[in-house]
Amino acid sequence: MNTTEHMTEVVQRYVAALNEGDLEGIVALYADDATVEDPVGSEPQRGIEAIRAFYANSLKLKLEVALTGEVRAVANEAAFAFTVGFDYQGRKSVISPIDHFRFNEAGKVISMRALFGPANIHQA
């Protein structure tokens, strides 16, 4: 089982990599057969190449990412609330998702699900 400390560190590395636009740093957190469902209800990205393409597209914008509370990590799962700010077509937007990571025994993320909807997207 993963420790709380390890899972929290992975979340912190994820946030830092998003802020730095570090595509390979993000991809390195995932297992080769992982899935990303962002947002929940969309078609999941399956496998490391699909995940790389998803984040490459996301990182086309400069992101400002910050945790908004403590990471909840237990039993190979972690959840965390955060904000993602970005400028798009001259307008500043902020999304406030809660992400859920599931980890394999090797400490890699095997599933990421992002919970947010229209009520969680705001113009700044």
23-77 pLDDT, tens digit each: 999 999 999 999 999 999 999 999 999 999 999 999 999 999 999 999 999 999 9
Q: Is residue 99 flagged as an active site residue?
A: no
Q: Who's near 13: CB < 8 A, 6+ residues apart?
A: 25, 29
User: Which tokens belong to 12?
Assistant: 């912190």
Q: Which residues pair with 123 in a beta bridge?
A: 93
Residues 22, 30, 33, 38: which is the catalytic one?
38
Q: What is the pLDDT of residue 2?
A: 87
> pLDDT tier at 124 (50, 70, 90 boundaries)?
confident
Residues 14, 30, 55, 99: which is the catalytic one?
14
CB neighbours of residue 102 within 10 Å: 18
Q: Render pLDDT for 100-109 as a digit per residue (tens, 0 to 9).
A: 999 999 999 9
Q: Is residue 22 flagged as an active site residue?
A: no
Enumerate domains of the chain plus CATH numbers. Answer: 4-123 (3.10.450.50)
Q: Who's near 113: CB < 8 A, 6+ residues apart?
A: 37, 38, 40, 99, 100
